[in-house]
Chains A and B, each alone.
Chain A
Amino acid sequence: MRAANMISIVLMLMLALPVIGTASSASVQSHSTAINGIQNYAESHYLWLSTFEHHALVMPLLTSITPPVVDMGAAFIVVLVVIVIASFIYILANIINSSNAKNWAKIQVYEALLSILLLMIFLGIFYLFLLNPAGSYNSVGLLPNECNTTSINTLFNLSACDIGTFSNNALGYFDLLSVVGLAAGGSPGIQLGFEPISGFGISMSISSILPDGIEGMLGTALSAVIFFLVLNNLQLILVSGAILFLTFFITLGVFARLFGITRTFGGAMIAFGIGLGIIYPLLISLTYGYIDVHMLSASGALALAPYAIIDFISFAYASTVPLLPANLIFGLGYMVAGLTFIPFINFIILDAFIVDFSKAVGEKVSFMALLSNFI
């Protein structure tokens, strides 16, 4: 029994070497696409900051989506080889009348068939996600204008566009808050003096008519926005690499599930791959699609900056409301929600899926635990 196990493992390893090489090259291609996308996004935002006029929106578009046919095809072949070997061992077990070997062979066939079924379902869902979702999303008001272009033709592209649009708008709001802070520094002071007789007088002054606590509150707000913007870029990276995670982890997981000792690990990898590659882009496209549609764009918010300053001053010293233009209040509220509440809702749903799915097909792994340790 042990000898049969060892021989089968060695044979499978020898067959798997070219498969791993193929999977690596396909993964590198997806990886480089993701890195290029992130670099494009970073460079575009630097240009936008320096000009402060034209907002060139560049998202990390996954323009070259390579369907993971090569990876999955190789995994299919390995699975078929495993079935052949297990069948061969089943025949041998019948000859030598070994019940343990028969049971082992049956389990191998079952796991291999389950792996084929999982592969077919994953490929089906993946190709479903390659369909153009623009019409469906537009009908329920989840397609922002910035993503309503011909290049956004898959769910992966749409999710990357949604989170990229939100990141650009959030950075714009951060810049607006910075401008308001700078403007607050220019608020005038008051100086009064009364000198009826030369050498005898009274004077009083304040350096700024702006209330003393405003600058402190603004500074705290800016620090918080910076912190959450950095965390938000983590989402951008996860979405940009969705296809990479899908192909790499599922291929690795299916392959690892074939061996008894790595079966649970393989199940966990499959759960990771489906979670980050399918569930997470779907969540991003829904939640950030809604936020982007209802949130005032960065350029629109900047255009309202002078009115915001006037409204705030009149609110502080007169009885007029609103304290800021209404659209700006909504935009700031959606920005805060998009940086705090929405990511946590997304991660909680993703974590629930990965934990339960990994428990069902392998060993339990918690995405939130990994993420919190990382952060």
Chain B
Amino acid sequence: MASRKAKNIARHMSLLAVLLIAILVMPGYAHASSGYSSQANSFCSTIIPKTTSITSGNLLSSGVLVLSLGLISLMFAIVGFTYAIGYAFGISPLLNFSKTELGEIGITLIIIVVLLGTMSAISGGSPGNIFTNYNFYGVYNNDCNTMMLTALNTTSDFRSVAIFQDFYSLLSSTSVSVSPNYFGFSFTPFIGLTVINQIIKMIMEFTGIIIGLFIGLSIFLAIIYGLFPIFLYIGIVLRTIPWTRAAGGAFLGLFIGFYILLPLLVGFVTTVSFSSLSTTSFPTNLFSFSAGLSSILNPFTSIATLVSYIGKNLLLLFIEGVVAPSIYVIIGVVISIILSLDFAETMGDYLGAPSLSSSKALKGVV
């Protein structure tokens, strides 16, 4: 059973090696420069630096490797002692435990050799350099730029819609009063525009959500980039100790699924769906003085004109310019997260945390 498990792990490790090589060869490219690309670059360079305290710590990765190997040697000694006691007293649970532990220690050695070895081979050097290769940075920076550019290019749309809303609020409150000698009447010819205002409010809220969502996704990627490398180190050490093997497997599974696979998937999916997202130009002819004057003189015709404008121009422009490109990116990111989650659970299952896939806790979170 231990040998079959080792074969499964070896097969998945080879898949992991392919993913790591994809990081090496995936070209870093720039999206079509439009709108706020320089601001997006500046933002992403700040939250996703080329090196972090964790990844630049050569001593950390080398020290963790030495610590893991030392722990493995200690576990070999303990397991051997346990096997001797079990054999001497004929205690079969001890014998079974020792045999199982020997297999698990072998699997941990395979993981260390394949995972760290592949990563250091790609980086071109020692185990201390597994994160200093800039390809991880390139992939994350590329994805962050996609998110931020989408968010920032949408801000001008938010601004346009905000101005529209103010204008329609002002217009709908127009009141004409006729009261000679302090007695008369007043009417508000454009009060029906409050209905239109609700549509514009909905558009504005949706635009605001898109901006917040994509900024949040950028920060989400930055946290994974900055924090998850430590999961690799902690996972290897914890997996070596039999009683913390499940936690170590969970750490390693999350690292492989989210740090390695997720940015690759986001990059691939957004490459397919991302087009040259430029700012949307809403026509502003309604702001002219003549338009305002004619609306006062003939409110019914003006309302009809306004409704036609909202239905044909504003909504269509909003759907084509804001919703459609954003939906592509959102669907791509959601698919990437689901696939990464599934892969993290599978890897965690093989690396010592079978409950990661069976408990469905992670699926519930998503």
**What residues make up the interface of A, taking CB atoms closer than 8 Å to B?**
106-107, 109-110, 113, 118, 121, 139-142, 190, 192, 198-206, 209, 211-213, 216-217, 274, 279, 282, 286-287, 290-291, 294, 315-319, 321-323, 326, 329-330, 333-334, 336-337, 341-342, 344-345, 347-353, 355-357, 359-360, 366, 368
Contact = CB atoms under 8 A, between A and B. Distances in A.
Contacts of B46: 326, 330
Interface residues of B, number: 78
Nearest to A355: B355
Nearest to B203: A213
Contacts of A206: 166, 169-170, 173
Contacts of B159: 315-319
Interface of B: 36, 39, 43, 46-47, 52-54, 57, 59-60, 85, 89-91, 93-94, 152, 155-156, 158-159, 161-163, 165-166, 169-171, 173-182, 184, 197, 201, 204-205, 208, 211, 215-216, 218-220, 222-223, 226-227, 230, 234, 243-247, 249-251, 254, 296, 348, 352-356, 359, 361-362, 365
Contact of B247 (A216, A217, A294, A353): A353
Given A286-B230, A316-B162, A319-B156, A344 B365 contact: yes
Nearest to B354: A356
Contacts of B169: 206, 212
Nearest to B205: A213
- Nearest 5 Cβ contacts at the A-B interface: A141-B53, A333-B219, A356-B246, A355-B355, A353-B247
Nearest to B97: A114
Given A139-B57, A200-B178, A348-B361, 13 more contacts: A110-B91, A118-B243, A142-B54, A192-B170, A199-B181, A202-B175, A213-B204, A315-B155, A316-B162, A323-B211, A326-B43, A329-B215, A355-B355
B362 A348 contact: yes
A317 B163 contact: yes
Contacts of A355: 246, 355, 359
Contacts of A107: 93
B250 A217 contact: no
A279 B348 contact: no
Contacts of B178: 199-200
Contact of B155 (A321, A351, A366): A321
B243 A357 contact: yes
A337 B165 CA distance: 32
A337 B177 contact: no
A352 B54 contact: no
Contact of A290 (B165, B205, B227): B227
Contact of A140 (B57, B85, B156, B352): B57
Nearest to A203: B175
B59 A139 contact: yes
Contacts of B361: 347-348, 351, 368
Contact of B162 (A141, A317, A366): A317
B237 to A, nearest CB: 11
Given A140-B57, A317-B162, A333-B215, A356 B94 contact: no
17 contacts: A113-B85, A139-B57, A199-B178, A199-B181, A200-B179, A201-B176, A202-B175, A212-B165, A212-B197, A213-B165, A213-B204, A217-B205, A290-B223, A317-B159, A321-B155, A326-B43, A356-B245
